[in-house]
Amino acid sequence: MIMKSIRYKTIIASISLALIMSACSDYLDINKDPNNPTDVSLALLLPYSQAAIVGAVDNTAGGLTSHTQTIMGQYTQRGFMSDYGLQPNDFPIIIGWAQFYTEALTDLNIVINKGTTEESWYYVGIAQVLEAYLFSVAVDLWGDVPFSEAGLGSANPFPNYDSGEDVYNGIFILLDNAIENFEKDAPIATSDLFYGGDPDQWKKLAKTLKLKLLNQVRLVQDVTAEATALVNEGDLILDIEDDWQLPYGTSISPENRNPGFVQEWTAGGQFYYIDPYFFETMQGTETFFPGGNIFLGINDPRIPYYFFNQLSTADDGAAQNPCAYCPSRSGTPFLSIFAFSFNIDPNEGFDQGRSQTVPGLYPMGGRFNDGAGGVAANASALTAGQVSGPGNVPQRLLTSFQTKYILAELALAGLIPGDPRAFLEDAIRDSFAKVNEVAPLGSAPAISPTNINTYVNDVLAVYDGGGDELQVIMTQKWIASFGYGIDSYNDFRRTGFPVLHDGNTDNLVVTARTRNFPVSFPHELQDLITNPNAPPQRVITLDRVFWDPN
């Protein structure tokens, strides 16, 4: 009997267990992610997309400033890149593209949709300005890009590419809508990393961006009326207080420092050289491109804020390896390599991580060049021989000096009223003010008014000297823009200035240009492969963007 009882208990218990487990549908209802939310607030979405956009254009190996400053002769890099060797899978291209479309656009679309439902108009307006900016950069580099069908996810995984002109028209609408939204009553967008949610500042940015884009298209359409209206409204970024820029922090963990600083100030781990052509233009010399420097003899006081020399003496032997552009050439501890010298100059390939000149305080938060040298490092605890900078200098995106250079260009072209020379002077002074704004972050002295005045007068003398006035404006703008490269690349394709170093016409035997100047960027490779609606790859030496009739 005991046996029987055990037997039946076992059977009953087992069968009930089985039934309970199977019948209980809750047992399987456990697939809700406990780690990540399925909905978040606008206040959380906005800052990420803001940082992501800056990540696309920033001063790192994966930022678009990297390529554009190299093409524009501000940086040199070892290898093909300094011979216009752009590839469709280069870091800045694939990362810039991905940051725009997958990191920023998706979240910004959610902000716009959700913000419209919630009537959080400032969030909506900010997202519209940011989308306008990212699509404008995309058109300026890649010509035709997905716009009207972009960012729709699985609803349209293979978006068509719109013509650059159509995208620009859409951008102007986005900006006009944004301006309207900033004029409504709405809760402040408190999580805004740029302007603390201030709708007036954002309105200025929207209008300034519009002015910038009107200037961009001025060769292919008459922008006189619209540009003049914007100038007359006066609601533009005209003071360095209004500059659009991303402030960084000093925290290493989480990493909040200027990413250019994090990258370039890794001890001995430099990626960029400073292009000697850019350096000599600022130094007022021309040792390898006779006749190329319109500012010959004018020494720019911004040099120690722009570049940091790791060497402390102008002694070639102090370099860790034989040098290409050596201190003896410039008479300063500045050390670099020439563009167009890969595979020709045997000294191009040597490690100069501890000897080369690196981007300094102004562009990325490195150290002010006090002449003492030292190995550039970003570690929290420096070891013997290492020096560092503050690391928290903002990434500039659209500043008052840029506005004023745009005004100078528009005025010179006769598209707006005003004196281009006065706009130029204001622009130069604002660009110095910008350096002086950054100086205290690096415990650096301010550039004295005397030095500023001397420089301004010297440059205006060149402006007045009978040469090409546009060349003076654009060359100055190029110098001022150091640290944000995309506008210089646009400006060059629009105006032909500054005149760039050409490895085939200089007096160097160690340089040769084997490729032509790229008038646009190659389409990002992964999207070309995966999108059946993508156009054929661009021929970057021939396929211009729509606003470039040159």
Q: Which of residues 388-447 bind another protein (CB under 8 A)?
A: none
Does 387 interact with another protein (rule: CB under 8 A)?
Answer: no
Please report how close the Cβ of residue 526 comes to another protein at its closest, in angstroms: 7
User: How many other CB atoms are found less than 10 A from the CB of residue 321?
Assistant: 13
Query: Distance (Å, rounded) from C-alpha 458 to C-alpha 480?
Result: 16
State yes or no: residue 136 binds another protein (CB under 8 A).
no
Site string for another protein, 43-72 (x = CB under 8 A): -xx-xxx-xx-xxx-x-xxxx---------
22 lies in the site for another protein, by CB under 8 A: yes
Q: Is the peptide bond before 417 cis (omega within 30 degrees of 0)?
A: no
* Position 157 contacts another protein (CB under 8 A): yes
Q: In the chain, how long is the greatest CA-to-CA distance?
A: 120
Contact between 514 and another protein (CB under 8 A)?
yes
**Minimal distance, residue 476 CB to another protein, in Å:** 30
**In angstroms, what is the minimal distance from the CB of 11 to another protein?**
7
63, 93 contact by CB (below 8 A): no
Figure out which of the listed residues 72, 81, 105, 294 binds another protein, where binding follows CB under 8 A: 105
Among 12, 16, 79, 505, interactor with another protein by CB under 8 A: 79
Segments of 364-521 assigned E as strands: 375-376, 386-387, 395-398
Rounded CA separation 547/71 (Å): 19
Answer positive or negative: Cα dihedral of 425, 430, 433, 434: negative
Binders of another protein in range 313-332 (CB under 8 A): 318, 320-322
Number of residues that bind another protein (CB under 8 A): 130
- How near is the Cβ of 522 to another protein at its closest, in Å? 7
**Shortest distance, position 90 Cβ to another protein, whole Å:** 7
Tell the smallest beta-carbon distance from residue 238 to another protein (Å): 26
In angstroms, how far is CA 518 from the centroid of its own chain? 18
Shortest CB 207 distance to another protein, Å: 26
* Of 286 and 524, CB closest to another protein: 524
For 133-189, give the DSSP string: HHHHHHHHHHSSB--TTTT-GGGSSSPPPBPHHHHHHHHHHHHHHHHHHHTS-----
| Using rule CB under 8 A, residue 151 touches another protein | yes
Part in contact with another protein (CB under 8 A); list of ranges 38-46, 174-182, 205-213, 472-480 = 38-46
- Does residue 36 bind another protein (CB under 8 A)? yes
377 binds another protein (CB under 8 A): yes
Per-residue contact flags (x/-) with another protein for residues 223 to 262, judged by CB under 8 A? ------------------------xxx-xxxxxxx-x--x
Alpha-carbon distance of 253 to 498, in angstroms, equals 40
Q: Is 530 in the site for another protein (CB under 8 A)?
A: yes
By CB under 8 A, residue 492 contacts another protein: no
**Pick 142 or 497: Cβ nearer another protein:** 142
Q: Is 116 exposed, middle or buried (0-12, 13-18, 19+ CB in 10 A)?
A: middle
Q: Binders of another protein among 264-293, rule CB under 8 A?
A: 266-270
CA angle centred on 325, ends 324 and 330, rounded to 5°: 155
**How far apart are alpha carbons 296 and 230 in whole angstroms?**
36
Report how far apart the first and last C-alpha atoms of the chain are (Å, whole number): 103
SS3 75: strand
8 Å CB contact between 229 and 415? no
